[in-house]
Amino acid sequence: MAIKLRKKTELFTFYDTKEGKIERETEVRFDPLTGETSRLVYDAGLAITPVDYSEAAEKTKRVNCPFCPENILNMTPVFPQEIAEEGRITKGEAIVFPNLFPYSKHNGVAVFSGSHFVRLNEFTPELIKNAFQAAQRYIHRVAVTDSQAKFASINWNYLPLSGGSIIHPHLHIIISDTGTNYQMNTYEKARQFEMETGTKYFNALSETERSIGERWIADNGTITWLHAFAPKSHNDYIGIFNKAYSIEDINGADWDHFAKGLQAIFSILTDQSFSSFNMILSIDPEQREPVHVRLIPRLTIGALETSDINFFQALHQEPLTYKAPEDIAEKSRRRFEELL
């Protein structure tokens, strides 16, 4: 069994009292790994107004922010010595410390730097690399001290629309005995795919999308960037570390390439007026699939600033997108070529 890219079209016919017959198509796409569906729906002209957080940033910085330089060492907790002898993990300006309100057995927070508000176009490769390498060190230390906590991920809520409660840029590192629904489903289906084909799913996905060319974006170092066939939002970027099967396999050069790839994606998001996103970097607990990343924008819609998540996503658990993956991938390829 190879990668299967399956979709079907549903047609809705109705009548306008002035213009007569109207037909609208909905395209249902099936995720090539899980079989879960996403819907590409009619775009009446998605208008997105980027949110300016300058005023909010001014009100929440310094004395009002636990992550700002004058507060971070006094207002954040410390790890036990077996995790970090000095209580926290640092790399450049990045600092990792425990989350006061943990989501899991192990939950570190990685603050990028002392800068309270960093716009998408202001993230440098060094800022990105330092934060992710600090997160990498934390995952390594947990692995050394807790053999039961095998499910690890690095997660990023950027700005309030993403669910981020603090403007100051930071990551969440989650390490648990139990995988999330995404991790459990992804790796269970990946094992099944490998048993049936003899190949790793994400490696096969890289090769398949590269050969088709419609959703492949770029190969940057050992990382392949592509757009999801069945996206979870209006953009859905997948980054595959083709030669890294554990967090330890990711070297400095890989992080450099990853950071530059994120810079390109941030530029593409800005072009589309997106100002917020969610991102996960997921690590296979059995180290059989390569490390991979997914990144989707978050937004509000229309004059009422309506949430981009409604009953379809929240309860039916079915993603909707107004944007064709192939169109977004084409624009992304051009931007990657310009910037990398």
**Strands in 59-187 per DSSP E:** 89-91, 94-98, 106-111, 151-158, 170-176
pLDDT at 304: 85
- Of 184, 109, 107, 175, nearest to 147 by C-alpha is 175
pTM of the model: 0.97
pLDDT tens figures, 168-183: 999 999 999 999 999 9
Name the CATH code of domain 54-306+323-339 (choices 1.10.10.60, 3.30.930.10, 3.30.110.30, 3.30.428.10).
Answer: 3.30.428.10
pLDDT tens figures, 69-79: 999 999 999 99
Indicate if the pLDDT at residue 64 is higher than 90.
yes
Burial pattern 304-333, b for ≥16 Cβ within 10 A else e, equals: eeeebeeeebeeeeebbbebbbeebbebbb
Q: Taking the domains of the chain in order of start, what are their residue ranges?
A: 54-306+323-339
Cross-strand pairs, 6: 30
Residue 52 neighbours by CB distance under 10 Å: 10
Mean pLDDT of 51-67: 96
Indicate if the pLDDT at residue 1 is higher than 60.
no
